Amino acid sequence: MKPEIAELWATELESGRHEQTKEVLNDGTGKCCLGVLCELAIQAGVPIGVYEVWHEFRDGSASMVKAYDTESTIPPMEVLKWAGFQLERNLNQANGTFTYDTGARANLAFLNANGMTFTEIAAVIRKYHGSI
């Protein structure tokens, strides 16, 4: 991804301005790390709409959440292109897939959903932005 967007994103995640949520980009109260990226794209003028949509969570509950264009769980293509995600390399890149120094692969959506804090995710973005 673009290094300047990675730094902007990491700084925003560390800012304390966002509550963290899981499973969706933006549940109306909090955002996942990728939802924060969507908000930065909007602030930068990327033309995406924000809508309320019905979402069923893994635990069986359901509620209205915010969707960016039609996406409530992964960023829309316009955001990914703006951020410079390496989409041609990996079809699953929309979830923030990256490669650790060991060669193991992970993704930011999984780290967010499994308890990694925004500050910890910011450190991952700074270190591995070249493979995102």
Which residue pairs, CB below 8 angstroms and at least 24 apart, start in 61-66?
63/27, 64/28, 65/24, 65/25, 65/26, 65/27, 65/28, 66/24, 66/25, 66/26, 66/27, 66/28, 66/35
pTM over 0.85? The answer is yes
Token pair for residue 101? 């120094």
Percent of the chain past pLDDT 70, that is, above it, reads 95
Cβ-based neighbours of 35, under 8 Å, separated by 6 or more: 21, 24, 25, 26, 66, 68
pLDDT at 115: 94
Q: For 85-102, what is the mean pLDDT?
A: 76
Which residue's entry shows tokens 């019905």?
54
Q: For 26-50, what is the mean pLDDT?
A: 97
What does pLDDT average to over the chain? 93
* Residue count of the chain: 132
Q: Of 98, 68, 100, whose CA–CA distance to 85 is shortest? A: 98
Percent of the chain past pLDDT 90, that is, above it, reads 80
Q: For 45-71, what is the mean pLDDT?
A: 94
Given pLDDT bands bounded at 50, 70 and 90, which one contains residue 89? Answer: low
